[in-house]
Amino acid sequence: MDMDNASTISMFRANHWIFLLSFILLTLVIGYLATATAPVSGLDSGRSPRWSVGKEMPTPRDQAAAVAIGDKIYVMGGADYSEKIQGTRYDKVEIYDAQKNKWINSTKPMPLPVDHGAAAAYNGKIYFVGGFIGGIIPTNKLFIYDTVKDEWKEGKPMSSYRGGLAAQFVNGTLYVVGGVNRSGIPLSAMEAYNPQNNTWTSKAPMPTARHHLGIAAIDGKIFAVGGRILNDVVPSVSIKQWKTNFNRNEMYDPQTDKWTIKQPMLDKLSGFGITSANGQMYIFGGDNLTGAYLNSVEKYDPVTNKWTYEPQMSLKREGLKAATVGNKIFVIGGQVWSPKSSKSGLVALDTNEIFNLK
């Protein structure tokens, strides 16, 4: 081989390696830029909030009530509609220890089996109001559970009979709103209970009569959202009939006894889970205008009066409940459609999904 050919081959090899190294470097740069600028969303983002799974509830059920006190979540009442349309109604109280991820059976059941009731906590006691008993018959009963003594007592009943209602405490007063009465007529009436003297008083009614709604108490205000109603000639508790849902968001100020219309929800929903955390309101699942069950999560900021979507649940469900412990929201129970699994096409759930805020 002469010197000219050797020089040419050496130069070719050098250029080849330079080209190869340049190509590798360019590929790495492009990959880095693509990763750095790619949109981040959902559960794979590595950001909070994100979902995890908690210990299943011992008794699968729909339309129970759930209340958090300290590190414990108390789930009471509810029903299983798998075998018959009126459901198997429960008086069970089951307690979830959020720190230990463990369920405990209470020694004292509720005084009556009831579903579609509402509950709120104050000073270590749980106040359970209304709901359906004996078929789809609303009650006006108030049951008070002492979590320290593990015992139930009966308080003065509401003036109205209602199921599918909502309740929250604000400044030591229990506010109860919405639901349906014994004639199946949706209610807008609000009643307030004073636990100190065991008395009820009437307050300004909601602008919108509805049932299967949700309410949350934030900074001394009550936000009533969603819910459903049917036309005037159809009993609104009949699940065989078409539903009409709302996305309405109405705020009640106990100081002025007045309601204010706020920014509506992103979807028209009923039968969802609702709770507040860190000054925000969170909505989980429920059903929409077509009756389809959802796994969506909506967050409302009362300061900005705006709604946003959050990462979805893994399971589409209705009749679920949500309770906040620290920086975690526990989304428990409910039901799903599964015609092959039950006579009614409904299956009650023991699901416990955890929405981690941080």
Per residue in 292-326, pLDDT (tens digit) is 899 999 999 999 999 999 999 999 999 999 999 99
CATH of the domain spanning 51-356: 2.120.10.80
- Within 8 A by CB and 6+ apart from 269, the residues are 226, 245, 247, 283, 286, 287, 288, 294
Q: Which tops the pLDDT comparison, 113 or 185? A: 113
Share of residues in the chain with pLDDT > 90 (%): 72
What are residue 224's DSSP bridge partners? Answer: 215, 250
Q: What is the average pLDDT across 77-102?
A: 89
List the domain boundaries for the chain. 1-34, 51-356
Is the pLDDT at 27 greater than 60? The verdict is no
Q: Are 49 and 357 in contact (CB under 8 A)?
A: yes
pLDDT given at position 231: 40
Is the pLDDT at 41 greater than 60? The verdict is no
Burial of 143: CB neighbours in 10 Å, binned 0-12, 13-18, 19+: buried
Q: What's the chain's length in residues?
A: 358
- Within 8 A by CB and 6+ apart from 289, the residues are 243, 244, 245, 268
Q: For residues 282 and 322, what is the distance between their CA atoms, to the nearest angstrom?
A: 9
- What token pair was written down for 19? 């080209």
Burial of 21: CB neighbours in 10 Å, binned 0-12, 13-18, 19+: exposed
Q: What is the average pLDDT across 168-180?
A: 97
Is the pLDDT at 26 greater than 60? The verdict is no
pLDDT given at position 297: 97
Is the pLDDT at 216 greater than 90? The verdict is yes
Q: What is the pTM of this model?
A: 0.84
Is the pLDDT at 348 greater than 50? The verdict is yes
Is the pLDDT at 103 greater than 90? The verdict is yes
